[in-house]
Chain A
Amino acid sequence: MTIGDIAKLLDCEVLCCADRLDSEVHTACGSDMMSDVLAFVKDQAVLLTGLLNSQVVRTSEMMDIICIVFVRGKKPDESVVKLAGEKNISILSTSSRMFEACGILYENGLRGGS
């Protein structure tokens, strides 16, 4: 699956790095707790979250996550989007809720990874 496929499946607005929609992703995680992302995530390329601050981007950077999907219709402010742009991390926003968004992506082949 590509980041572009995620955008289509979840009917996302692409807020950043639209030029990277062809990037392949195979694994994802969903969490509002960045502490847990740092503690339990390994080799996931996509983070689904409802948390909006800049540390979502920082955490993703540390974990080599290349795409953040903000769920429940949330959109981060401009400074967060700008930071993601500097780190080449795609930002998508979907009106789907967390459970629904994860379910749709899982159904279409994205997995939790190791």
Chain B
Amino acid sequence: MSVLQLHYDVPGDDFTRAGEASSAIKNKLKQMGIAPDAIRNVAIATYEGEINMVIHANGGTIDVTIDADSVSLVLRDTGAGIPDVELAMREGYTTAKEEIRALGFGAGMGLPNMKKYTDEFELKSEVGKGTEVRMKVFLKK
């Protein structure tokens, strides 16, 4: 299988459109005949990332690399950054405002969830510059 690379821009100003990139990625993986469990793990990870980008960072980008063994995801934004990554990774910790919670998000599960559903997870963030999340989901044979 050859390597496939996909790139998506996530607009930051429209909550209703959050999830469009994840939906496109999910459909692509389905077309490729990738196992449903792996597809769902990728879908949850990218969707949580997209929601985070829209809520916290005014949008960003998602790069997907699919090869025979894995799906690699790189999510980048140029938002405010995360001052305390360890704290941000804690389940239930959130800086989302009440208006975001009213939309059904901001329970402090986004980042922990992304880690939980992927096989590799790495987060780098710099305050004032932005955040980069690298994740990998292995495709079991």
Residues of A within 8 A of B (CB): 32-36, 38-39, 51, 53-56, 58-59, 61-64, 79, 87
Contact = CB atoms under 8 A, between A and B. Distances in A.
A34 B22 CA distance: 15
Given A36-B107, A59-B47, 8 more contacts: A36-B109, A51-B103, A55-B103, A58-B22, A58-B23, A61-B26, A61-B43, A64-B40
A56 B26 CA distance: 17
A35 B107 contact: yes
B113 A39 contact: yes
A84 B22 CA distance: 15
Interface in B65-121: 103-110, 112-113, 116
Contacts, number: 70
Contact of B105 (A54, A55, A64): A55
Nearest to B54: A55
A53 B103 contact: yes
B22 A33 contact: no
Interface residues of B, number: 25
Secondary structure of the B contact surface, majority rule: helix
A100 B55 CA distance: 33
A38 B103 contact: no
Interface of B: 15-16, 18-19, 22-23, 26, 36, 40, 43-44, 47-48, 51, 103-110, 112-113, 116
A56 B104 CA distance: 8
A64 B104 CA distance: 18
A64 B36 contact: yes
Contact of A39 (B19, B26, B103, B109): B109
A32 B101 CA distance: 10
Contact of B113 (A38, A54, A55, A87): A38
A80 to B, nearest CB: 9
A77 B48 CA distance: 24
